Amino acid sequence: MARRKRRLGGTATVPYGARVPKRRRRTSRTRPPWWAELPTEELLDVRLSDLELRLEGTSMQRRVDRLHDELRRAGLVFRPYVYLSTDWFTPEGSSGFAVPFYLAHNRLVRLEHAQMFEAEGSSHDWCMKLLRHEAAHAFDNAYRLHRRADWRRTFGNYSAPYRSAYRARPLSKHFVQHLGAFYAQSHPAEDYAETFAVWLTPQAKWQKDYEGWPALKKLQQLGRMLHDVGDLAPLVKSNDRPESLPKQTITLREYYRRKKATYVDKEPWRFDRELRLVFDGAGVSPRREAAAAFLQRERVSLRAKVSSLTGQYRYLVDHAIDTMLQRCRELDLRLRGARDRARLGAAVLTTMAALALARRQTPRFRR
């Protein structure tokens, strides 16, 4: 009896039981943008508007989707819209917020790292923290939450002016800690946004983490406020996108030139006495390693540690190291004693110089 045959597409047949080659599935792969393989020097001459970036299909969009899911799980109907711009910020009165364009493509994340020594929000956890913080500002705008009397009693005066700098109290238990650098202490609006972000974070054990802290009462009071309005439609529904990427006609080169200029200002080195406590002059230790060479070798580690300790941007810290390194060359300073002691002294000096620089810059608040 003849064996039955199976069809392989069209009219072609193969003997029953024979191995049928697997058909390849057609996949729709997004073609890389035209600028993705450009050398860095050529890429820097591309205008931001010509990058033609979109959030759809990116890891950034998936993180925004996760944020929306967190809001849903928290019982909040509000969903902020998100668009690409040059930084993290929530426009005043808007129910959406901006995220930096470089997070929409890995090539641009690498460029940001190369130019600024970090890419703010480039890791998953870091990005989610920032998204929750910005969502808090957008939620406040959407429900005009800061107009409530209980909001003012909890966080303070929303209309208080932003200071050019704020003095953090590291030991204070009146504020949650979320983004670092004691950011909740900078302004009542930031105190609220940081508290919202902690409250929203999945699996956060803030009831235990802040037990006995006055900050716990803020979390509990905010929870009651959100419960009051969480299932209501927003009062404000905006669709504005100030400073959106398609409107940015400057090149990447100019973007980074301006960005670096906002981080640092020319600040003379004012810590010669402290330098001489850490390093010796050439006349004292002529055969020891030059302090400048030592600092150059320790630069990456020193930059990361001081940035983490102070909450200052790595580019600013690197500028402080560069200023100290140059002064060591001018004074022809040399290592003194053990290298571990020199590393500690260099870290202290870098911290002093970085904080001096930070006092002269205008902070980039996320409101």
Question: Residue 4 has what pLDDT?
Answer: 33
Q: What is the pLDDT of residue 165?
A: 67
| pLDDT for the residue numbered 164 | 62
Decide: 332 and 281 in contact? Cβ < 8 Å. yes
When the pLDDT of each residue in the chain is averaged and rounded to a whole number, the result is 87
Instruction: State the pLDDT at residue 22.
Output: 52
> Two tokens at 249?
């006609």
Instruction: Give the DSSP H or E segment for 151.
Output: helix 149-155
pLDDT at site 100: 98
- Of 179, 360, 349, 356, the C-alpha closest to 277 is 349
> pTM for this one?
0.79
Pairing label, strands 5-7, 13-15: antiparallel
Q: What is the predicted pLDDT for the residue at 311?
A: 79
Task: For 45, list phi and psi in degrees, rounded to 5.
Answer: -90, 5
Residues 6+ apart with CB under 8 A from 64: 55, 82, 131
Q: Where are the domains of the chain?
A: 40-247, 265-358
DSSP calls for 123-149: SHHHHHHHHHHHHHHHHHHHHTGGGSH
* CA end-to-end span of the chain: 80
Stretches where the chain sits below pLDDT 70 are 1-30, 164-165, 265-267, 359-367
Are 136 and 179 contacting, i.e. CB atoms less than 8 angstroms apart? no
Residues 90 and 134: beta-carbon distance below 8 Å: yes
The token pair that represents 317 in the structure block? 């810290």
Q: Which residues, in sequence order, are CB contacts of 246 under 8 Å at separation 6+?
A: 49
Amino acid at 184: A
